[in-house]
Amino acid sequence: MVGGHYTYAEVPLFDSIKDIFGFTRNNYDKLGHFAQGFIPALLAREIILRKEIIVGKNWQVFFIISFCLGFSAFYELIEWWVALLSDEAAEAFLGTQGYIWDTQSDMGWALFGAITALLTLSKLHDQQLASLSSTKY
């Protein structure tokens, strides 16, 4: 909601952070792309485990990360299509702020978010699912 109100490139808190750390751009969009990997990773993991879709932890992790990267790439395609259709408003919508690697960086942050979710919350998630198995969800 904050990014939609100000546009991603102009969120005031991240302007302050930019000034404090000497960044050349407002990096609020990176937080959004981190969440774009973090949240879908948890949702995908929940579905995979509850429905027993994929057997084997390594394959589960591979699929979850691939799913999150695919989701992020699709979002970047949508951004590109909107930019092509909106011409003058494209720069404000994209929020690239002159950074030529913005799309790749956004997908990198989504990857980082997905990996972080799996590393930090998988054990807790397994415990919660185990406690539900006694009540048979």
CB 21 within 8 A of CB 99: no
pLDDT in tens, 84-124: 888 766 665 566 666 778 889 999 999 999 999 999 999 99
Contacts of 75 (CB under 8 A, 6+ apart): 36, 106
Alpha carbons 137 and 54: distance in angstroms, whole number = 18
Residue 13's pLDDT is what? 76
Alpha carbons 36 and 114: distance in angstroms, whole number = 8
> What angle, rounded to 10 degrees, do the helices at 28-51 and 57-86 form?
140
Whether the pLDDT of residue 75 is over 80: the answer is yes
pTM of the model: 0.83
Give 137's pLDDT tier (boundaries 50, 70, 90).
very low
Domain ranges of the chain: 29-133
Residue 15's pLDDT is what? 72
What's the sign of the alpha-carbon dihedral 28, 33, 38, 44?
positive
Helix (H) or strand (E) holding 119: helix 102-133
